[in-house]
Amino acid sequence: MEIVVVRNKLCGGEWLRSEEPRNYQFDTSGGVSIVDLFCGCGGLTFGVLEALYCNGLAGSIKLAIDNNPHALEVYKTNLRVSEDVVCKADIGQLLSGNLGECTQSCEKALIQPLGKIDILVAGPPCQGNSNLNNWTRGDDPRNQLYLKVVRFVELVKPKIIIIENVLKFLH
């Protein structure tokens, strides 16, 4: 699938200034399928939905995972998804295998109902990799959680992967 940005409909601030909410098309059968790991309140997925909308495509959020129940409530409200789409869980337990290992039973249970995934968005914790963090930088157990995103990619093989983090993450 190729997404072409229509020049006169570029995603921009126009929708932020509008008082009319976007009527995003949600298509649970044939839309562009999206999974959101470390979803928080849904900012990354909101951006993807806006890009799809501006290009006349429908989005289908298949799964959103985070361990913060308050963020998940905001996610459900803002992105109008049902309770069965959001998952409050420790992603380390859901994706218990390491890179290159056989698929674990809990991983099979997670990915089997998803079917094909077009877009994976993920915002793994960045606090431990941030130059602003002088307390646990370099020694934060969350620093390795990005590997769970890589594990998910290994298992599901989405067409597009969007990972947001801080610059130091590249090194």
**Catalytic residue numbers?**
126
Task: State the residue for tokens 């361990």.
Answer: 67
Query: 52-82 as b/e, with b when 16 or more CB fall inside 10 Å?
Result: bbbeebbbbbbbbbbeeeebbeebbeebebe
Instruction: Tell me which residue of 44, 43, 45, 21 sits closest to 33, measured CA to CA.
Output: 45
Q: Give the residue among 157, 145, 37 at the shortest CA–CA distance from 92.
A: 145
Distance from C-alpha of 45 to C-alpha of 15, rounded to nearest angstrom: 16
- Kind and range of the H or E element at 73? helix 69-79
